[in-house]
Amino acid sequence: MIPATNPRSCPERPGARRRAARKKNLLVARQKRAQAQKHIHEVMTGLSDTSAFEAFDRMATRVDQMEAQAAAAVEISEDLSGETMEQRFRALESSADVDQELQALKARVQRELPGSAAR
């Protein structure tokens, strides 16, 4: 059996612990520097004079797609209901009920306002 020795008191390698700690710190520093360089390279590669214009183009494409989807949804709704938006608006505009309701509401508000009894 080999007797356990304290590594701090190892007579064969004075300063070995310090050298190991320095080597470890050096490797950690090199690793961090390599990671930073890689990150900088990735960021710089992503930047170009045309990148802003490409982003605008992608945004415009997405907006175009959303507008096309909205138009398709309206079209499908009209097909399913058999009624176009224009027809719906015309029906609402020509409705006498709305005008009558508005007049009744105005009359009620006038009655409920303070001081309207003197008028």
Which has more pLDDT, 61 or 88?
61
Rounded mean pLDDT of 5-32? 79
Q: Alpha-carbon Rg of the chain, whole angstroms?
A: 40
* 7, 19 Cβ separation under 8 angstroms: no
57, amino acid identity:
D
Spell out the domain ranges in the chain: 15-47, 49-81, 83-119
Mean pLDDT in residue range 68-90: 81
Q: How far apart are CA 48 and CA 63, in angstroms?
A: 24
Q: What percent of the chain has pLDDT over 90?
A: 24
How many percent of the chain have pLDDT more than 70? 78
* Geometric angle at alpha carbon 40, from 38 and 42, rounded to 5°: 70
The span from the CA of 109 to the CA of 4, in Å, is 98
DSSP string, 22-53: HHHHHHHHHHHHHHHHHHHHHHHHH--TTHHH
- pLDDT category at 34 given cuts 50, 70, 90 is very high
- pLDDT of residue 68 exceeding 60: yes
Average confidence score pLDDT of the chain: 80
